[in-house]
Amino acid sequence: MSLFGLGNRNQKTFRPKKSAPSGSKGAQLQKHIDATLGSGNLREAVKLPPGEDINEWLAVNTVDFFNQVNILFGTLTEFCTANNCPTMSAGPKYEYRWADGITIKKPIEVSAPKYVEYLMDWIESQLDDETIFPQRLGAPFPSNFRDVVKTIFKRLFRVYAHIYHSHFQKIVSLKEEAHLNTCFKHFVLFTWEFRLIDKAELAPLEDLVESIIQL
């Protein structure tokens, strides 16, 4: 059986796993990520490998974290419903509204599952856009690449914040908290290493983030 018992759930709720850009050094870098993660030292695993291009490193990790959050949230789809989670929130003080700047320019209030659906669709469209995430070896990254990556990570953080605030007891009952905590620790250390999320954005999980960074 696959991780979290995904085998016995409705597979339609899961997106196909995105793979690293094939024509780039993505496959090599993915092997490096897998090897360093296997060592258990997450702080080392997030560092830019010597001699590698930072944009390539950001790109392959963005795909990786997208996949991780996608799978984590996928385990909660039967619990995170429009009825149970009518707003995308991270506790009473933090509510997130959706806008992509293209089809939805003014932020709208949507349920948590709808927000995540919009978000994953939007990230997927960024990852599939070769002018942003080039597939060919040597193709240039756009000048705004880091800004796009920052927006992706900022929004992925919101999914973690919602999971921790609204579904942590369910995660515990499913015995998934160790995996969730490891994924989040990896995510935080990576965003911290490359300064991808403003500190103010981390406020809903401030104590947890601080405990990870200071370990």
What gap in Å lies between CA 5 and CA 39, rounded to an integer? 25
Q: The pTM is what?
A: 0.83
The predicted model gives 84-89 an average pLDDT of: 95
HSE value, Cβ hemisphere, 13 Å, CA-based, for 78:
10
The predicted model gives 72-96 an average pLDDT of: 93
What is the structure's pLDDT at 25?
52
SS3 24: coil
The mean of the pLDDT values for the chain is 84
What gap in Å lies between CA 19 and CA 33, rounded to an integer? 13
- Cβ(165)–Cβ(157) below 8 Å: no
Q: Is the pLDDT of residue 20 over 70?
A: no
Tokens 């995308």 locate to 88
> Phi and psi (nearest 5°) for 189?
-65, -35
The predicted model gives 178-195 an average pLDDT of: 93
The predicted model gives 204-208 an average pLDDT of: 94
Closest CA to 65 of 139, 141, 170, 159: 159
Set out the domains of the chain in order of their start, with CATH numbers.
20-200 (1.20.140.30)
Q: Is the pLDDT of residue 188 over 90?
A: yes
Tokens 């947890």 locate to 208
The torsion defined by the Cα of 69, 70, 76 and 77, in degrees rounded to 10, comes to 150
SS3 96: strand
